[in-house]
């Protein structure tokens, strides 16, 4: 198939393109305002600039392709909800005009609550899904909750909160259930989705459910950190959003937008993955996904990234991604504090972990 991947230089896009190439597809990789990073597959795709707010740019990008992956969103902008809806409508119309056969969109799980209780982030994702499905081109939306993997916004918030807070205040309202899924499983399912003929939406989740505090504890256990959690009643959502924005390097508006969904259960409808999976395969568990996410990227001497585990860090990941903990070749947690503050916040190490001084 001839496939356009919008957001090809983003988190999901940089992991999805190699999957599509390995399946034998011809990939047109769209990028925005910055040049593509040095990726191992960069010379195997046709690069095209794309401004999703400009109809002419979108029309040119979707010309002569069979399918489109829609992987763009403006989370963090003040007007992201309006901008995302307009971009989705523009893309849907351009795909119809170009006789595109299929659109696949990666969104978030929509909790079973009244629409007015959804966060702005989730409401926007749902509006984009509805705009794409309202067009004449068959579309399928995969809905995921927390995506595990180095560089994932949700994972980076979990990583950095766990590393920066030896004592973690836990609001009573933050004990909702979540069903994380490894990005390696996400890109495989996206590949299956574009090759199939299902439409509508499908929930995708990993093999385990947990609460958000349990997810923080699992990260600490894998990374060899001792952490204490203290339940704090009546802690307002706005305070948690501000604290999270201050304690992580993830852009504060993005963190604040994500915090709004923490009070709802974000779990997949059982059995939905079976509708799109080409063949049954075991899904990656939470602890294994965290372990693989702590590995360093494979980089060649010239600085280009080699083919790597989708869960591992990538040279294309944003500058705010990453932490102070890694895994060595034997799977032992290695703490790499860069200054006195990181050494203090990493705190007491579990037996079996070690520290490398910079």
What global pTM score does this model have? 0.90
Check residue 346 and give its pLDDT. 57
User: Which of 167-171, 190-194, 345-349 is least confident?
Assistant: 345-349
pLDDT for the residue numbered 349: 47
Contact call for residues 316 and 299 (beta carbons, < 8 A):
no
C-beta of residue 333 within 8 angstroms of C-beta of residue 223: yes
How far is it, in rounded angstroms, from Cα 94 to Cα 64? Answer: 12
Position 351 confidence tier, pLDDT thresholds 50, 70, 90 = very low
Confidence of residue 152 (pLDDT cuts 50, 70, 90): very high
81-95, 108-122, 328-342: range with highest mean pLDDT: 81-95
Please give the pLDDT value at position 330: 74
Residue 303 predicted with pLDDT over 90: no
Burial (CB count <10 Å: 0-12, 13-18, 19+), residue 345: middle
Share of the chain above pLDDT 90, in %: 61
6 contacts 62 by C-beta, under 8 angstroms: no
CA separation (Å) from 123 to 14, 81, 133?
Answer: 26, 8, 15
Residue 352 pLDDT > 50 = no
Q: Please, what's the b/e burial string for 264-279 (b: 16 or more CB within 10 A of its CB; e: otherwise)?
A: bebbbeeebbeebbee
Least confident span in 219-228, 277-286, 347-356: 347-356
- Tell me which CATH code domain 2-144+182-204+268-275 carries: 3.40.50.720
What does the pLDDT read at residue 353? 47
Q: What angle do CA 106, 252, 147 make, to 5 degrees?
A: 30
Lowest mean pLDDT: which of 51-60, 149-158, 203-212, 327-336? 327-336
- Give Cβ neighbours of residue 341 (< 8 Å, ≥ 6 apart): none
């Amino acid at each position: 198939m001839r496939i356009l991947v919008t957001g090809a230089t983003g988190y999901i896009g940089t992991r999805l393109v190699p999957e599509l190439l390995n399946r034998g597809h011809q990939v047109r990789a769209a990028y925005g305002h910055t040049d593509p990073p040095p990726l191992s597959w960069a010379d195997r795709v046709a690069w095209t600039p794309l401004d999703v707010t400009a109809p002419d740019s979108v029309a040119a990008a979707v010309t002569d392709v069979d399918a489109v992956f829609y992987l763009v969103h403006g989370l963090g902008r003040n007007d992201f909800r309006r901008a995302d809806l307009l971009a989705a409508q523009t893309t849907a119309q351009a795909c119809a005009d170009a006789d595109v056969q299929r659109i696949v969109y990666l969104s978030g799980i929509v909790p079973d609550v009244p629409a007015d209780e959804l966060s702005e982030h989730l409401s926007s994702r749902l509006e984009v899904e509805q705009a794409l499905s309202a067009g004449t081109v068959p579309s399928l939306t995969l809905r995921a909750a927390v995506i595990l993997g180095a560089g994932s916004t949700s994972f980076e918030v979990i990583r950095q909160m766990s590393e920066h807070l030896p004592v973690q205040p836990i609001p009573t309202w933050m004990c909702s259930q979540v069903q994380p899924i490894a990005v390696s499983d996400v890109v495989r399912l996206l590949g299956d989705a574009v090759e199939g003929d299902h439409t509508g939406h499908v929930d995708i989740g990993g093999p385990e459910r947990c609460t958000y505090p349990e997810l923080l504890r699992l990260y600490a256990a894998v990374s060899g950190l001792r952490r204490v959690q203290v339940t704090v009643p009546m802690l307002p959502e706005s305070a948690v959003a501000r604290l999270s924005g201050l304690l992580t390097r993830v852009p504060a508006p993005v963190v604040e937008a994500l915090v709004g969904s923490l009070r709802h259960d974000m779990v997949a409808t059982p059995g939905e993955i079976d509708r799109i999976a080409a063949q049954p395969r075991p899904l990656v568990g939470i602890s294994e996904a965290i372990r693989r996410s702590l590995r360093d990227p494979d980089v060649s001497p010239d600085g280009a990234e080699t083919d790597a585990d989708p869960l591992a860090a990538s040279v294309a990941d944003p500058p705010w991604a990453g932490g102070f903990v890694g895994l060595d070749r034997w799977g032992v947690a290695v703490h790499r504090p860069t200054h006195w503050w990181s050494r203090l916040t990493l705190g007491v190490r579990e037996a079996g972990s070690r520290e490398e001084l910079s």
